[in-house]
Amino acid sequence: MAKGDEERDESPAAEAERLRSLIGEYDYAYHALDAPRVPDAEYDRLFRRLAEIEAEHPELVSATSPTQRVGARPVGEFREIRHARSMLSLDNAFHEDELAAFDKRVSERLAAAGISADIIDYVAEPKLDGAAVSLRYAEGKLEFAATRGDGTTGEDVTHNVRTIAAVPFVLRGHDVPPVLEVRGEVYMPREGFEDFNRLAAQRGEKTLVNPRNAAAGSLRQLDSEMTARRPLAIFFYGIGETRGWELPPTHAEVLDALRTFGFRVSPDWRLVSGIAGCMAYYEDIGRRRNRLPHDIDGVVYKVNRLRWQAELGAASRAPRWAIAHKFPAQEELTTVEAIEFQVGRTGALTPVARLAPVFVGGVTVSNATLHNIGELHRKDVRAGDTVIVRRAGDVIPEVVKVIEERRPAGTSIVELPDRCPVCQSEVVRPEGEAVARCAGGLICGAQRKQALRHFASRHAMDIEGLGEKLIEQLVDAGLIETPADLYSLTLDELTGLERMGDKSAANLLDALERRKSTTLARFLFALGIREVGEATAASLATSFVDLDTLRHADEEQLLEVPDVGPVVAERVRTFFQEPHNGAVIDKLLEHGIHWPRPAPARALESPFSGKTVVLTGSLSTMARAEAKAELEKRGAKVTGSVSKKTDIVVAGENPGSKLAKAQDLGIAVMTEEELVRRLEPGSP
């Protein structure tokens, strides 16, 4: 019974009728609307339950039952095409014992036909997760293409299939069959799917649900130009009707022939022997599954000898000579028990759904990411919801969508918390950004190790001997929580740590003491304020000189600092306004961290004093670094980009776009010769 359905006390006839109705609704949504409502695993579970009931009660079998046909009939928007040979579906095996039972049935049926085979050879191929099509070629030229439809009749999608680059219009070679019907799977590669969705999101357009449904939906576009814009691909895996061509004896040779004719065949198919060979292939492709450029949901095994295939024949909906060995479901249904916010090492708040445990992707999943507050609101996930959860390989499980018709009454939209759930510092989310963050960078437990590693790093406080492993030990032992705690460490505390001797401990304490003398720029960089790198920290130190003034600066004052824009100004202001951060800074200063107050620099008298200068192109008389140093000695600020704040652009050889931008903005342009002349003492 489907997860989330209420247990029912019903007769087999009533249950069968209910399942037929439910499967019919899901078939319509999947095939006709291209809008699947449940994961494959849920559909398979319902289908198998119905098949069990009908097997136990043959009198309940109906001609209209989903078990008696391949799929839903096509919608009436396309011309219908009747397949010369039916496009059958495949039975599924989910466990090794089911695969072994299939192999046993094959052997027994062959034996009944007078064919003795101790070990059956199979062609094993990845089971692509896309849309099946049949292409018919007459005299080597593409005649038409059709979808699977109900297995007997499909939809004419020739105009869309022609847009797929891998589909040959004319077959290769001089001995192509007069009539050849080939079967293939249209799919959308993962990279193409992600690129398409990213661009669609940027344009404010509807994004695609997943690569499988993207492929099916693309084939059903009335306008082939829309299909052509979608990155579709195809692999061919078999044949339907043929005329005037003597088939080779094996399926493996059919695949080789298809490749010779110009069809794209999966490079991952293999010829294997018996169940052992099948399982070895299944395990190998399973390990490589997430490195493939396209989605697969299992493996298909086909009896290799075509004469044996003919002897085995087919049931009403599936061949007896092939089976699909499915991977553990990567999508499942479960319920959301709660939604919590986790704080990452950079302070990012990530909403996480706590789930009723469900087996998906080969493991039991009880948590799934919701990425960020914007994504949470877009999907509108709430506590109590029934959801589809997906897990692909080692990828963190995620909530795909909510089954809204199963939403209980009384649920409410989840809002972003005002305070960090770890340290109670303010949570900030700048306008236009998807990620919300904790502002307590120096005290937040979730950010602790990252903040300490940055504080001690070479370009920050440069504390020799305080590496990542030692920081891990100090935090895990509860000896430090903030950077200020480093300066309270004792020799006894340090020597009590693993692999920390008296000499190493003493050396670390000496390094901490030595590095109390630093510069304001290094100290600001060490604080780990977001968006404040070394250059910005140096600009802040130069502009404010005094830390206390910087700590109380408003946004307008911060924007006066060169290279500080609105985003950085907001980051700095928010950081210093957080009381927890201020308390840690005060403790650091109390421990004796200090820096020299720089004397006002006396710039050489020059026409560059107080000017913002940009160097572009190559200089022949001096290095760029030398020119920059000489300009700064004369009171200039040298930047790397041209803006309205730029006063002078010095153009060497091959100046590029910076010169053009300066000319557009009406900024003064100076040649290298003029620069050299004006750098001379007393130059006007």
Token pair of 334 as six digits? 């479960």
Q: Is 153 exposed, middle or buried (0-12, 13-18, 19+ CB in 10 A)?
A: middle
Homologous superfamily of the 612-679 domain (CATH): BRCT domain (3.40.50.10190)
One-letter amino acid of 439 = A
User: d(Cα 624, Cα 491) in Å, to the nearest integer?
Assistant: 49
Q: Which of 149-158, 373-382, 593-602, 613-622 has the weakest average pLDDT?
A: 593-602
Per-residue confidence (pLDDT) for residue 33, from 0 to 100? 59
pLDDT exceeds cutoff 70 at 77? no
Annotate 456-516 with three-state secondary structure.
HCCCCCCCCCCCHHHHHHHHHCCCCCCHHHHHHCCHHHHHCCCCCCHHHHHHHHHHHHHCC
Provide the CATH number for the domain formed by 92-326 in this structure: 3.30.470.30
The domain defined by 445-590 folds into DNA polymerase; domain 1 (1.10.150)
- Rg (C-alpha) for the chain, rounded Å, is 34
Report residue 644's pLDDT band, with 50, 70 and 90 as the boundaries. Answer: confident
Confidence tier at 37 by pLDDT (50, 70, 90): confident
- CA distances (Å), 381 to each of 79, 353, 415, 451, in order? 40, 9, 11, 32
Q: Please determine, for residue 600, whether its predicted confidence score (pLDDT) is greater than 70.
A: no
Considering the segment(s) 12-68 as one domain, its CATH architecture is: Orthogonal Bundle (1.10)
Q: Would you call 420 helix, strand, or coil by DSSP?
A: coil
pLDDT, average across residues 592-615: 76
Percent of the chain with pLDDT over 70: 93
Distance, CA of 548 to CA of 544 (rounded, Å)? 9
DSSP secondary structure of 147-163: E-TTSSEEEB-HHHHTT
Q: Write down the pLDDT at residue 638.
A: 80
CATH number of the structural domain 331-406 = 2.40.50.140
pLDDT value, residue 599? 52
Provide the mean pLDDT of the chain.
87
The pLDDT tens digits for 486-536 are 999 999 999 989 888 999 999 999 999 999 999 999 999 999 998 898 888
Which residue blocks in 142-267 are alpha helix, DSSP H?
158-161, 190-202, 211-219, 224-228, 251-261
Helices and strands in the chain: count of H runs, count of E runs: 24, 22
The CA-atom distances, in angstroms, between 600 and each of 372, 550, 562, 612 are 47, 18, 18, 19
Per-residue model confidence (pLDDT) at position 21? 83
pTM of the model: 0.53
Residue showing tokens 């960089």: 525
Q: What digits encode the pLDDT tens for the residues 571-591?
A: 899 999 989 899 999 999 999
Q: How confident is the model over 223-233, as a mean pLDDT? A: 82
Report pLDDT digits (tens) over 525-583. 999 998 898 888 988 988 886 898 899 888 878 887 877 888 889 889 999 998 989 99
Averaging pLDDT over each range in 146-155, 225-234, 252-261, 595-604, which range is the top one?
A: 252-261
Residue 411 has pLDDT above 70, yes or no: yes
- Per-residue pLDDT at 682: 64
Q: Which of 3, 104, 127, 658 is catalytic?
A: 127
Q: How do the domains of the chain map onto residue ranges? A: 12-68, 92-326, 331-406, 445-590, 612-679
User: What is the C-alpha to C-alpha distance for residues 115 and 7, in angstroms, rounded to an integer?
Assistant: 48
What are the tens digits of pLDDT across the range 416-438?
A: 999 999 999 999 887 778 889 99
In this prediction, residue 150 carries a pLDDT of 83
Enter the DSSP assignment of 546: S
pLDDT(24) > 60: yes
Q: How confident is the model at residue 177 (pLDDT cuts 50, 70, 90)?
A: very high
Report pLDDT for 7. Answer: 46
Give the burial class of 206: count Cβ atoms within 10 A of its Cβ; 0-12 exposed, 13-18 middle, 19 or more buried: exposed
> How far is the CA of 206 from the CAs of 17, 199, 203, in angstroms?
36, 10, 9
> Does the active-site annotation cover 3?
no
For residue 602, pLDDT over 80 is answered with no
Averaged over 17-41, what is the pLDDT? 76
Q: What does the pLDDT read at residue 71? A: 47
